[in-house]
Each structure stands twice: as structure tokens, then as C-alpha cells.
A and B are shown apart, each in its own frame.
Chain A
């Protein structure tokens, strides 16, 4: 579903991604973790071209990400993304947030788009908030709306960029529950997160990144219990110690 081969990226002189090779199969759920500044966010943002990669090849669902803008828009329609800061559209209601993409990018009619949006708002357990504005919702509710908004495009892949990092602790669970639920529906998922409990439950494959490189790639059990790399061990020790 997703293939990255030899991807390199620089921010000016800073080499942020080094020779990234990543393969995500259809229906596979991948969790990427690593210290901040390790390039994990940049990596998943390259998958839907929110960041441009400088070298290497990225293929999503058989479409190569290159300078062709048709490829770009095709990929973006297939790939949903959930951001750390939610990034809901504050001038639109929850329902309108969800219908904008389907109506404008997919050309769905208003009533079809609304029906679809309500179905997905129910799936993230928030249909009663449909007519409110994002600012009237809690962080957890906003993030669930953001997930519903992405799902409304019927994406083949969902990217999560630290979806719970900006949330108050008591709201993390409601968002993770929705994500676990989604994982159960065979959605291809790539998550950047520090929620190791979530990772253990849903991940098929764990990646550990440090200094722009993928340092370790292992199934969760091996990753958590017998990590091969010293850096992975140190990192896990730090975030799992309390």
C-alpha cells in the first residue's frame, strides 16, 4: 500500500530523513516512535506530500508521488490524516467540516455527503455535536471529529501524527478507543505516537526512529521485550519507566 525507498530529505543543512525504507501492506497497522526531532512526523507527512522529499521514491496505492499534480491529488484523496493540533476548520460546523472534502474533492451531493458525515460521526460517537462549531468542543471531541472528517473521504490509508499529544490525559482514552475501533476494521494505518499501550494492542509492526534514520523495525512483542538496538532500549526505558 505504501512504499518508501531510499527517501532522503533536508531542511537546509539539516538532514532530517536518512535513507528511509518503509513498506506498509494493505490492512497493516504500523506504529512509529522515537524521540522528538527524530524525523518521524516529517516521515509520515511525506507520505501525503505535506512535506516534499528530496531523494528516493514514494509509492502509495500504486501511484508514484512526483511532480505530477494529478498524482498528488489522487494520493491525497486516498490518504487521510489526523494532526496533533486537530486543525479543524473553525469557521465551519462539525458537519460542514466533514462534508467539505467529499463535496468539493469527490463531487458528492449535499444530502449524500451529510448522510455519510452523520454515519461517521456516529462511528466516532459524537453525532449529537454535528451542528456545533469546533471551538465549542473539548479537545478529545475535536480530535474525534478530525478522525471522522478524514474517514469521510473513504481513504485507503490513515496517517496519525501524534493524535493524542495535545490532549488532556482524561481525553486520551476516548480518542484511542476510536483508533482501536478503526484498527479493527482492517484500515491501513500509520501512527506516530508515544502511546505504547495502544501500540502493543494494535500494531502489526513497530518502527523506531532516531536522528532521521529507522533504527529498528520489529513486531511489537519482540520490539518491547527484546529490542535489538541499544537506542531503542534506552528510549523505551525512558518512556515506560513510570
Chain B
């Protein structure tokens, strides 16, 4: 096959020139019209600080916030995928009841903006559900080693209810979107695959688990990656419910330092790095999945 992508056409030059022009114009406006004296010097001190007591270099607010964001992303992806897959399967069920539950959940969540949902669910989960399972008593009863592992996985022990409420709220929201992606994936699998599964003696559930879902998930890796990236970006919303992740920290610093542009540009860059890395990982997964089936 001839590669047509490598040849540059006049149109490419026009587009390239237009992009340069826009960037140059924005730069010019920022430099000459917006009177603003840039000062990035405060930022490094918020990444790491020198602890006066121990003399060690320890992470400061921005890095701590980033770690919390990463923890939210990690648990959020796991939990949202788990709920999303169950709901996605429910939506393709032959039985009316699971279908109805999945339909109602997705319809309910997708038509409410994230902010009201987060506020309401945060309140409900943190004040009604987590106290019932006595999470704080559990955390308080841990040994030192146990507390260390817990803090590595979930962040500061005293904020754990807060953290879990945020993760659960965010996951429940994202699960609705993942459910739709999973449903589309399941529905794209040909009927013959189910029949082949049944004909080698597998039950419905086994056919779903070993035959249909692996293929469905493989097919929806690209939209799923997009949804995970949305999850990370939308995790900045949980700053609203006082979870001390990256955006929450940035907000505090921006106010106390009066350095809005620098702090938010730098924070945006940190989000970009995280999301871009995740996208690359998924890209590689997708290529590997494609190569394996070739």
C-alpha cells in the first residue's frame, strides 16, 4: 500500500501557517496588551519543601494534591469500571428488571450535571452510608504498619471518609457513562459467539464472562480510555466537596499567593501530563490487542 500520509500538500502549509499565526497572536496579546508580570518562583516551593524538624525534603501541597488526584483516579477507574460493567451487562439482559434498573440509573445520572450530583451524593454517602459500615472505627483500630499501607492507598487516615465519599460519588457518576460504552461493546458482539459458547456447554453467565465480555472490552478500549481521562479531569470537581486533591490545593495556593495564572497554568500542565500518560498507555494496549488478533 502506498503511504499517502507522508506527502505534504499546499493545504498542510496553509494550516501550519495558520496555527503559527494564532499562537504568535496570543503570545503578542499576552506580552504587550495584558499587563502582567510573570513570577513562577513560588511554584517550586509548593511542590516540595524542606521540613525544618527532620531536615528532609518532603512533598508540599501541589504534590500532595497530585497524589490524591492519582489515588482518586486509580480507585475511581476500578470502582467505576466495576459498577459500569455490571450496569452495562444489566442493560443487555434478557430479563426486564435488570434492564429497567440499568436504564433508570443511566438515564438518571446522565441527565443531572455533576455538581448537584456530587453535592447530594457526597452528603448522602459521607453522612449516611460510611458511618453505618464504621469505617472510622476500622481505621482507628489499625496497627502502625496497617495505617501506613492505608495511607499509601487512600491518603491521610483522618481524611479517609472524605476521600472515600468523593471516590464513590465520582465513580457512581462515571459508571453511568461506562455502562453505555460497555453496553455498546456487548451489543456489537455477533450472536454466533453466544451460540458457540452455549454449544460448548457454557452457561449464559460463563458465555458472557469468557466469550462476550473480553471481546466487548477489547473493542471499547478507545472510548473507555476517553472516559477514564474524563474521570481524571472531572476529579477536579471533588474540590467542591473539600477533597484536597490537585485543584483544591491549586485554588488555595492561587488565592494565598495571588498568582492565578502561574498556579493554574502549572496545575493544568500537571493534569495534562497525567492524562496524556494514561492515553499513551491505552494506545499501547489497543495496539497490542490489535496485534494479537492479527
A→B interface (CB under 8 Å): 48-50, 73, 76-77, 79-81, 83, 85, 87-91, 100-101, 104-106, 133, 135-136, 146, 149-150, 152-153
Contacts and interface: CB of A to CB of B under 8 A. Distances in A.
Contacts of A152: 200
A91 B199 contact: no
A101 B200 contact: yes
B203 A150 contact: no
A236 to B, nearest CB: 30
A91 B289 CA distance: 9
A106 B195 contact: no
B261 interface: no
Given A104-B202, A105-B201, A87 B210 contact: no
A106 B202 CA distance: 9
Contacts of A149: 200
Contact of B218 (A50, A91, A105, A135): A91
Given A105-B206, A133-B293, A89 B193 contact: yes
Contact of B199 (A48, A133, A136): A48
A76 B201 contact: yes
Interface residues of B, number: 21
B119 interface: no
Contact of A91 (B196, B206, B214): B214
16 contacts: A50-B195, A73-B203, A76-B201, A80-B199, A83-B199, A90-B293, A91-B214, A91-B293, A100-B202, A101-B200, A105-B200, A133-B294, A136-B294, A146-B196, A152-B200, A153-B200
A81 B199 contact: yes
B28 to A, nearest CB: 54
Nearest to B193: A87
A81 B211 CA distance: 17
Contacts of B214: 91
B195 A83 contact: yes
A119 B236 CA distance: 57
Contact of B198 (A50, A85, A90, A146): A50
A77 B197 CA distance: 11
A13 to B, nearest CB: 22
Given A87-B192, A87-B193, A73 B201 contact: yes
A135 B294 CA distance: 6
Interface string B182-217: 000000001011011111111100100011001100
B292 interface: yes
A137 B196 CA distance: 18
Interface in B213-241: 214-215, 218
A143 to B, nearest CB: 12
A179 to B, nearest CB: 17
A153 B201 contact: yes
A49 B201 CA distance: 12
Given A87-B196, A91-B215, A101 B201 contact: yes
A101 B215 CA distance: 17
B215 A90 contact: yes
Interface string B262-294: 000000000000000000000000000000111
Contacts of A90: 215, 293
Contacts of A81: 195, 199
A105 B294 CA distance: 28
Nearest to A81: B199
Contacts of B200: 80, 100-101, 105, 149-150, 152-153
Contacts of B292: 133
